[in-house]
Amino acid sequence: MNRSELTKELRALWRLSVPLAIASAGQSLMAVVGSAVAGRAGAAPLGGVGLGNTVFMVGSVFGMGLIMGLDALVAQAIGAGDRARARRLAWKGTAFAGAAGLAIAAVLAVAPLGFGAAGVDAAVAPEAARYLAWRALSMPSLLAFFAVRAWLQALGRTRPLVSATLVANLANLALAVPLALGGAALPAWCGPLRALPAFGAAGAGAAATVATALQAALVLVALRNEGKSEPGGAPRRGELRGALRVGLPIAFHFTVEMGLFTLVGFLAARLGELPMAAHQVALTLVTVSFTLVVGVGTAGSVRVGHAIGAGDAPAVRRAGLVTFGSGAGVMACSALCLLLFPGPLARLVSSDPAVVAAAGPLLGVAAVFQVFDGIQAVGAGLLRGAGDTRFTFLANVAGHYLVGLPVTVGLGVLAGRGVVGLWWGLCAGLVTVAVVTVARFRALSARPIAPLA
């Protein structure tokens, strides 16, 4: 493996990574905007958006995992030159995404019934319930976006993904301010709109739902237009089942990881408004950096899938090494920012000095695990490109629940370290998953990998 090959792979990876990172970060930016706007309305709306979005993320990551089973199959089909199969999978996957989104939305709609039993703060619970009621409606659109993404990213046609994400985020910002804060937050020239009442967390949820629907509509238009010259036809028997065999472990992997974050969110909510608000500020900020590295991991998944489809074993190994290095580099920069500018970053999400001060120690913990978080994220992407998704599921179960959870409970609850102790538990789990994921890819890529189909 010479330097020119590594340089070529690095360029190819980043040509794909940058737009995918923008598209990935755009998903989280909607939650960031919702939290930032709600934070101007007080600690209770901020906590409500934080808790509601945490519960929403559990459902959304499960659904996204199901749909991301398409990524490896579509990329490998493109690598093998079978564009007809790739396009069939994309269309069938989009239809499946809509149906799965409706089912998940129905489950999320009843989730707030458990807030009381979970001991959520009385001021936070109703705000979270109203946010979730609106946000759940966006699930079919969100999953459809990811189904179309599998096709576009495998072809390297990422401009529609970026354009749709930018438009959706502008729409979300334009709607969130008046819906969450009320018309009084608008300038005088808005006229009658200034009479609009403030809906708090519910307004932030409604804005995100409308924006997500717009995003899905734009990429569906791109799928239709970009693929007019591609052969289509009905999916062949077993093709979608193959995607589900790959996607189900991804869904369980994502759910297991988010499950621990959700548990930490509930434990933070039991500590009161301030700890919950601080937890939400820190979680919002680290989610942005995480979604950036997820873009790198997704690009690595495509590169690995292309190489496997083409039967190029050295290219698989090369793509993995470059992706691991790139992911670690991105998160090292993020960690440095968290260490150097905790106050200014926290103030981007909350204007409450007490919340900003409480979030500072959490950002310090986050800076410690950022590099490991990046490594495990890109490692999961690389293994996903190879279709080895069961291992990532098992690794996350072991890392987060056999290592992370005991540390979370031990430090955060039993030792009385509060929300900072809870976050050290998250750190322990992420470090463990990162180590075993790197070891797995090294072993897997040491020999030729058979395509999924």
Each residue's pLDDT tens digit, 198-247: 677 888 889 999 999 999 999 998 887 765 555 554 555 566 777 888 88
- Which whole number is the average pLDDT over 349-367? 86
Please indicate whether residue 5 or residue 354 has the higher confidence score (pLDDT). 354
Query: Quick one: pLDDT band at residue 294, thresholds 50, 70, 90?
Result: confident
- Which whole number is the average pLDDT over 353-375? 89
Exposed / middle / buried, residue 438 (Cβ in 10 Å: 0-12, 13-18, 19+): middle
- Best mean pLDDT range from 43-47, 114-118, 261-265: 261-265
- Check whether 184 has a pLDDT greater than 90: no
Contact between 23 and 314 (Cβ < 8 Å): no
- Check whether 304 has a pLDDT greater than 70: yes
Each residue's pLDDT tens digit, 103-145: 999 999 888 888 877 677 777 788 888 889 899 999 999 999 9
Query: Quick one: pLDDT band at residue 383, thresholds 50, 70, 90?
Result: very high
Sign of the dihedral defined by the CA atoms of residues 350, 356, 362, 363, in that order = positive
Q: Identify the helix (H) or strand (E) that includes residue 351.
A: none
Residue closest to 205 by CA, chosen among 298, 137, 276: 137
- Check whether 68 has a pLDDT greater than 80: yes
Report the distance separating Cα 169 and Cα 27, nearest Å.
8
Tokens of 210: 């409308």
- The CA angle 89-161-76, to the nearest 5 degrees, is 35
Max distance between CA atoms of the chain, in angstroms, equals: 67
Query: Quick one: pLDDT band at residue 438, thresholds 50, 70, 90?
Result: very high
Residue appearing with tokens 């300038």: 187
User: How high is the mean pLDDT of the chain?
Assistant: 85
Sign of the dihedral defined by the CA atoms of residues 85, 308, 328, 431, in that order = positive
Domain boundaries, the chain: 3-444
Sign of the dihedral defined by the CA atoms of residues 223, 226, 229, 230, in that order = negative
Residue 349 phi/psi, 5° resolution?
Answer: -105, -35
- The pLDDT, as a whole number, for residue 411 is 86
Percentage of the chain lying above the pLDDT 70 cut: 92
Please state the pTM of the whole predicted model: 0.81
